[in-house]
Amino acid sequence: MNAFTLILIVISLATFVAGQLLLKSSLNNAAAPPPGRWITSRRAGLFVAGILGMTISFFLNIGLLQKLDLSFLFPFQGLSVIIVTLCACVFLRERLTVPLVAGALLIAAGVMCVSASGG
Amino acid sequence: MMHRLWANPFFQVLVCALFGTASEVFLKLGAAETAHLPSALPWLGLTGLESKWIWVGIVLTVISFVSWMQAISVLPLSVAFTLSNMVHVLVPLSCWMFLGEAINATRWAGIALVVTGLIVIAKPFARIDERL
């Protein structure tokens, strides 16, 4: 796995995390429409931006899949477990509980084992 | 009772993970089928769209996405997303069963770690449900 592949994986991860955060924030109360309206431009904008991030990440993933083993490559998404959890705490002000952090670390460690064992 | 199950956000996370796993397997089949095709922008994987499997994978991704939106409209993202990582158990197992990819000892260890992590996160919620 060379530097170029790594950069692509990083970009795919970053757009994925951004997409998830944007989708969640589009559903949060801060973006909720007032009674009588079914949607606001803020909610729609966040939703579209989230979809865009996920789409870019999706196609980058397919490109990477064409070159690498699925069960090796796929778990790189697992790094996003930690990143998404941290970013959700920082940007979306969600609570981090001990079981959640412990579980996230276990899952991230497991995912790294699975990806390290590949080729 | 079926409606209660369907409305349960944890069940939605499971549905999302199952459809997500199936979609990943089909996407890999499609990617393998089209890997040899020439492309102006190879790293975007657009040649994948020439494969039927990719389109099946896309449909399954959409279904998975719909349940995902249901789940995160109720659950905090950090909880829902961390639990959705059960796919990291389901995908290697599916690759082993359907794509003939090998799972060595390190990979099994990784799967065990992920399962442990999922149990650690899910247990407090299971207790809450029991009390209700």
Its pTM stands at 0.74
Residues B81-127: tens digit of each pLDDT = 888 888 888 888 888 888 888 888 888 898 899 889 888 888 877 66
Cβ-defined contact of B110 to A88 (cutoff 8 Å): no
Nearest to A65 among B31, B113, B123 (CB): B31
User: Lowest mean pLDDT: which of A30-39, B23-32, B52-61?
Assistant: A30-39
Q: Report the pLDDT value the prediction gives residue A119, as an integer from 0 to 100.
A: 45
- For residue B132 the two structure tokens come to 């209700």
**C-alpha B83: how far from its chain's center?**
10
Which candidate, B119, B109, B111, places its Cα nearest to that of B83? B119
Cβ-defined contact of A106 to B61 (cutoff 8 Å): no
Q: What are phi and psi of B99, to 5 degrees?
A: -110, 0
User: Lowest mean pLDDT: which of A99-108, B31-40, B78-87?
Assistant: B31-40
Nearest to A113 among B95, B113, B119 (CB): B113
Cβ-defined contact of A110 to B123 (cutoff 8 Å): no
Coil, helix or strand at residue A95:
coil
Distance CA A100, CA A11 (A): 26
